[in-house]
């Protein structure tokens, strides 16, 4: 059965139009998208739409052009090669959540994704969209920082790679030229059996975190920590590594007390005040959540809980 | 009227062609142009889940998509769930019998969300059901009977209830 629907019923007038007017483009190739970016003024890229669409509906952004990446060939993929996980920018969060490779070898990503929005938003939301939106509380941004991931950016003169640590140029501002496009990101693998944990504090399940902590640990057979990565999200303008904490625990045989003391350094990280929480509360959460993440990661690394120090 | 495009899509097993303004959300298109007003709009910025539909079988917020993006795709809305006009789907029957709704505003988004969820996970725990429902706001029920209804529906599904929807029985 084929039904033809007449356009513009009288009820559908400008008064109830949510997004502002724009010209719509749906390129089929990366080159075509870059060409559009280079030739159009005030253009916005539309990936999964889980951040841009709300901003359009509320008219927080008023683009003259929307370039929809959903029909671009070759941007959604998950590829594992030589100890790296390469993810195409338009890969849906859902496809990462359900990936066997992610679950087996990048388990922290699986744990973090379950805290990214809800099933309905993960079905549409993409990794590239999340990384370029660059919300300081976004779980995937924290993971990219915690892994020293590498992004691939395409522009008119070809592709370039840069460490994700250099990707944020400021608050929610990726270091991309106006005619450049994020096409992929690579995550290195941590040793088989590594410890990991992603913990966050949010008002409701699926909300952006007020503060989050991502921990990765490697150790030797005696239980001594040989490598550590701890990333705190939701504090400053971008998630940041807790370097002082990392240095304090590498080479150590941790006890509950040692972790508790080491995590205190997270209180010194820069934090913002906003409607959700004052800076001092975020700094408190950073110390608490980094400890919880490390305790969980260490238990996963060694297969047993730490001997209790003082009660929590 | 701004820029328009002609799109062709399938909704609840029926083929439609329409000319849409490129800035229309999919939710507004479904409600106003197709007249399928079972898909509800609450917050219109992706928080409440009332506008959830299935897009190629996957639950999605139709307020966070453009109608033009649906060109060539398959949609399922709440109208497509019951197998016939006089018969409820087992999921709907479970909601009916367990008092899984009060005002019913959030119900279309919850049912479409659960169609996908129970397809992926036909034997969920209560906690898994609560997480699956976390993207759908209900301000009447306190969720208790929604959870009970969902677990009951899962039981019916495992017991072999005829789970086919309108789109599949055509």
| Phi (first) and psi of residue A17, to 5 degrees | -75, 125
Percent of chain A clearing pLDDT 70 (strictly above): 93
Domain that holds residue B18: 4-80
Give how far A99 is from chain B: nearest CA, Å. 14
CB contact under 8 Å between B17 and A118, yes or no, is no
* pLDDT bracket for residue A308 (50, 70, 90): low
Residue with the two structure tokens 């939701």: A234
pLDDT of A142: 98
Which chain A residues are within 8 Å of B22, Cβ to Cβ?
22-24, 66
pLDDT tens for B131-146 read 999 999 999 999 999 9
Same domain, B71 and B15: yes
Last residue of a domain, one of B80, B98, B114: B80
Closest partner residue to A119 among B15, B32, B59, by Cβ?
B59
Q: In this complex, is the C-beta atom of B44 within 8 Å of any C-beta atom belonging to chain A?
A: yes
* B20 to chain A, closest Cα gap in Å: 7
* Residue A13: pLDDT over 90: no
Q: Are residues A64 and A83 in the same domain?
A: no
Residues B56 and B121 placed together within one structural domain of the fold: no
Q: Is B53 on the interface with A (CB under 8 A)?
A: no
Radius of gyration of chain A (CA): 21
Interchain proximity A120–B49, CB inside 8 Å:
yes
pLDDT tens, residue by residue, A70-94: 999 999 999 999 999 999 999 999 9
- The pLDDT of residue A2 is above 80: no
Give domain status of residue A248, yes or no: yes
**Does residue A108 sit in the same domain as residue A155?**
yes
3-state DSSP call for residue B10?
strand
Helix (H, G, I), strand (E, B) or coil at B22: coil
- B16 located within any domain: yes
Question: Hey, are the CB atoms on A119 and B5 less than 8 Å from each other?
Answer: no
Closest Cβ–Cβ partner in B16, B19, B135 for A118: B135
Q: Are residues A107 and A131 in the same domain?
A: yes
Chains A–B, number of C-beta pairs less than 8 Å apart: 124
- Asked if B61 and A120 come within 8 Å (Cβ–Cβ), the reply is yes
Mean pLDDT of A273-288: 96
pLDDT confidence band for A206 (50 / 70 / 90): confident
Q: Are residues B76 and B128 in the same domain?
A: no
Window 64-93 of B: residues touching A by CB (8 A cutoff) are: 64-66, 68-69
Q: Across residues A167-195, what is the average pLDDT? A: 96
pLDDT of chain B, 170 residues: tens digit per residue: 689 999 999 999 999 999 999 999 999 999 999 999 999 999 999 999 999 999 999 999 999 999 999 999 999 999 999 999 999 999 999 999 999 999 999 999 999 999 999 999 999 999 999 999 999 999 999 999 999 999 999 999 999 999 999 877 65
Q: How many domains does chain B have?
A: 2
Nearest residue on chain B to A116, alpha-carbon basis:
B135
Which of A3, A56, A118 has its CB closest to that of B16? A3
pLDDT band at A171 (very low <50, low <70, confident <90, very high): very high
**Which domain covers residue A99, as residue numbers?**
78-188
- The answer to whether residue A1 scores a pLDDT higher than 70 is no
- What pLDDT score does A298 carry? 98
CATH code (residue A171): 3.30.465.10
Whether A16 shows a pLDDT value over 70: the answer reads no
B15 with A3: Cβ contact below 8 A = yes
Separation between Cα atoms, residue A234 and residue B2, nearest integer Å: 39
A6 lies in some domain = no
* A7–B20 C-beta distance less than 8 A: yes
Shortest alpha-carbon distance between residue A185 and chain B (Å): 25
What CATH number has the domain bearing residue A53?
3.30.43.10
Q: What is the pLDDT of residue A116?
A: 96
Find which of A119, A121, A122 to mutate to test the B interface (most B CBs within 10 Å of its CB): A119
pLDDT at A14 over 80: no
Q: Which of A50, A195, A176, A55 is nearest to A125 (CA)?
A: A50
Q: Which of B45, B80, B115 is the last residue of a domain?
A: B80
Question: What's residue B57's pLDDT?
Answer: 96
Residues A53 and A146 in one domain: no
Same domain, B63 and B100: no
Place of tokens 């410890």: A195
Domain co-membership, A239 together with A278: yes
- pLDDT average, residue stretch A204-212: 89
* pLDDT for A302: 96
Same domain, B72 and B105: no
Closest residue of chain B to A52, computed from CA coordinates: B64
Residue B72's domain is classified under what CATH number?
Answer: 3.10.20.30
Work out the mean pLDDT of chain A and round it to a whole number: 93
Kindly report which listed range (A104-113, A155-164, A301-310, B71-80) carries the lowest average pLDDT score: A301-310
ipTM of the prediction:
0.96
Write out the residues of chain A at the interface with chain B, using a CB-CB cutoff of 8 A: 1-5, 7-9, 11-12, 16-24, 26, 46, 49-50, 53-54, 56-58, 66, 68, 70, 94, 114, 117-121, 123-124, 204-206
User: Is residue A312 situated within a structural domain?
Assistant: no
Mark out the alpha helices in chain A (DSSP H runs): 30-39, 52-57, 93-97, 100-105, 107-113, 119-122, 127-133, 139-146, 243-249, 256-263, 279-302
Domain identity same for A108 and A62: no
Of A49, A68, A119, the CB nearest to B135: A119
| Separation between Cα atoms, residue A54 and residue A56, nearest integer Å | 5
**Domain final residue, candidates B80, B104, B125:** B80
Does residue A115 have a pLDDT over 60?
yes
Question: Are A219 and A242 found together in one domain?
Answer: yes
| Contact residues, chain B, for A16 at CB < 8 Å | 28
B63 and chain A: CB distance < 8 Å anywhere? yes
């Amino acid at each position: 059965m084929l039904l033809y629907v007449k356009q513009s019923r009288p009820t559908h007038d400008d008064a109830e139009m949510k997004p502002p007017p724009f010209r719509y483009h749906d390129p089929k190739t990366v080159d075509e998208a870059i060409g559009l970016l280079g030739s159009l003024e005030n253009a916005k890229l539309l990936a999964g739409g889980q951040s841009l669409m709300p901003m359009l509906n509320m008219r927080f952004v008023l683009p003259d052009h929307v370039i929809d990446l959903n029909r671009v060939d070759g941007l959604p993929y998950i590829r594992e090669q030589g100890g790296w996980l390469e993810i195409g920018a338009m890969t849906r969060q859902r496809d990462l959540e359900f990936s066997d490779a992610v679950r087996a070898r990048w388990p922290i990503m699986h744990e973090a994704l379950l805290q990214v929005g809800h099933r309905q938003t993960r079905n549409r939301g993409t990794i590239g969209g999340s990384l370029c939106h660059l919300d300081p509380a976004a779980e995937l941004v924290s993971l990219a920082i915690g892994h020293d991931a590498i992004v691939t950016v395409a522009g008119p003169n070809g592709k370039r790679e840069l460490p994700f640590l250099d990707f944020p140029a400021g608050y929610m501002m990726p270091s991309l030229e106006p005619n450049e496009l994020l096409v992929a990101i690579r995550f290195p693998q941590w040793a088989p059996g590594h410890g990991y944990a992603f913990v966050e504090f949010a008002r409701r399940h699926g909300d952006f975190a007020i503060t989050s902590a991502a921990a990765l640990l490697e150790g030797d057979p005696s239980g001594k920590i040989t490598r550590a990565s701890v990333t705190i999200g939701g504090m400053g303008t971008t998630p940041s590594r807790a370097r002082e904490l990392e240095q304090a625990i590498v080479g150590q045989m941790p006890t509950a007390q040692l972790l508790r003391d080491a995590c205190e350094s997270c209180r010194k990280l820069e934090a913002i005040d906003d409607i959700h929480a004052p800076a001092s509360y975020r700094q408190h959460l950073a110390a608490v959540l980094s400890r919880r993440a490390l305790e969980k990661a260490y238990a996963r690394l060694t297969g047993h809980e730490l001997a209790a120090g003082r009660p929590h | 009227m701004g820029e328009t495009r002609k799109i062709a899509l399938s909704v609840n097993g029926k083929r439609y062609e329409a000319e849409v303004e490129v800035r229309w959300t999919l939710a507004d298109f479904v409600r106003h142009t197709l007249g399928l007003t079972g898909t509800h709009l609450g917050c219109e910025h992706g928080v409440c889940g009332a506008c959830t539909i299935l897009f190629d079988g996957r639950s999605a917020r139709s307020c966070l998509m453009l109608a033009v993006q649906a060109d060539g795709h398959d949609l399922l809305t709440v109208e497509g769930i019951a197998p016939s006009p006089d018969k409820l789907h087992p999921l709907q029957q479970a909601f009916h019998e367990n008092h899984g709704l009060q005002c019913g505003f959030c119900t279309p988004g919850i049912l479409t969300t659960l169609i996908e969820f129970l397809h992926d996970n036909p034997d969920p725990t209560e906690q898994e059901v609560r997480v699956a429902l976390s993207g759908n706001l209900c301000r009447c029920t306190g969720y208790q009977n929604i959870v009970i209804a969902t677990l009951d529906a899962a039981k019916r599904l495992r017991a072999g209830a005829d789970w086919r929807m309108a789109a599949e029985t055509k």
